[in-house]
Structure 1
Amino acid sequence: MARESFKIFYAGRNDVILYEGVEEVLESLKQKYVLGVITNGNADTKKIGIDHYFDFNISASDINAGKPEPIIFEEALRQSGFRAEEICHVGDHPVNDVEGSSDFGMKSIWFNEKELDWPLDQKPNFKEVNSWSELERTVESF
């Protein structure tokens, strides 16, 4: 029963409708940058159909460590060949993405589509975007 439930859950995680403009932004960024995925989740970029935009894909389950733990960001350095200060991390979670990557020395962009207020007492150095259309120019502004 549990195995069947997980299969249904996992299938749903990969049945994704991409936001309008996502593929155009990824295609444009891919022409200029090395792109990678760092995820605590279990969605599969290959099953979603966007794996060709990315040079590497790191899943927390693959390395037994998740964001905001430094080891997952260290793995991104290893796979990308870049230093932390040369990497711009984009994510939607204030702690796992923004604080985790900022504390590790990466540039950080908070993808805040819901336009929420910053939820934490401390505010690390980051830039904020609220839509995919803002993302490319914000990455380029670093």
Structure 2
Amino acid sequence: MSLRALPGFNLQAITLDLDDTLWPFAPIGERIEQVLHHWFLQHAPKTAEQFPISAMRRLRQRVIERYPQYAHDASWLRRKGIEIALTESGHDPALTDAAYDMFFAERNRVDFYPDAHAALLRIARRVPVCALTNGNADLAAIGIAEQFHSHVTARAFGKAKPDPAIFLHACQTLGSTPTNTLHIGDDVEADILGARRAGLKTCWLHREDARDRHPGWPRRDFIPDLVFSDLAQLADWLEAQTPS
């Protein structure tokens, strides 16, 4: 846990990242690849043969490079990849919707970090919270929509983190000023640098499973306002700042 003095900070609201903050994304990514491949085996066997998991990964990268204008829209990129795989392997691209629906349902089966769900409930009781994500998680499908005042996605807004504009838009949905809003996330660039550039206070969530990638704060030009190793620590800090 690391804290900096926050003089004059009157906490009005929180913006909160989702993937790798509330739940680890790597297991989801691996599982949806397996489930999509199994669906291809059943419904589009030529696609399964021509596009095994490794080939689908390469295709996804090809789609990202070919359509940079959709870099903010994870759902569009995934759909397009499925459509191309079906078409190039000789199957009907009309199967895209069914394949994507199966993928999306699986994408929303998440396993929360042990601290995350209870901490989210504690945090949401104190201040309004906006889910701010570059991903495409469905809060209602996951069962946590009621804990959020608002939900801002890169897909809907048209720009992704770390663009400061998406942070400012999230503040607008909360009715808060950026200088009195705290952003929490795991990604050094997308979350912490982006929020800082938008004028928000920052909390770097440095979980144990990320220590191999970043043993400590990696930048020298600035440091986050807060650093916690889990959301329970954030909830403890928040309750100390805003006693009932």
TM-score by length of 1: 0.88
The aligned counterpart of 1:44 is: 138
The aligned counterpart of 2:109 is: 15
The range that moved more, 116-125 or 58-67, is: 116-125
Change (3 A) 1:47 1:125: same
Moved over 6 A (4+): none
The range that moved more, 28-37 or 114-123, is: 114-123
TM-score by length of 2: 0.54
Change (3 A) 1:110 1:141: farther
Q: State how far apart, in whole Å, the 1-side matches of 2:101 and 2:139 are.
A: 17
Query: Does structure 2 retain, via aligned residues, the 8 Å contact 1:70–1:100?
Result: yes
1:105 pairs with 2:199 = yes
The range that moved more, 82-91 or 127-136, is: 127-136
| SS in structure 2 at match of 1:18 | coil
Shift of 1:74: 1.6
Q: State how far apart, in whole Å, the 1-side matches of 2:230 and 2:123 are.
A: 15
Q: Which has the higher contact order (CA 8 A, sep 6+)?
A: 2
Percent same amino acid at aligned positions? 26
Query: Does structure 2 retain, via aligned residues, the 8 Å contact 1:67–1:97?
Result: yes
Note the residue ranges of structure 2 that are not aligned, 5 or more in a row.
Answer: 1-46, 48-81, 83-95
- The structure with the largest alpha-carbon Rg is 2
The aligned counterpart of 1:70 is: 164
The aligned counterpart of 2:176 is: 82
Query: Does structure 2 retain, via aligned residues, the 8 Å contact 1:99–1:124?
Result: no
The aligned counterpart of 1:126 is: 225
Note the residue ranges of structure 1 that are not aligned, 5 or more in a row.
Answer: none
The aligned counterpart of 1:25 is: 119
- Aligned residue pairs, count: 142
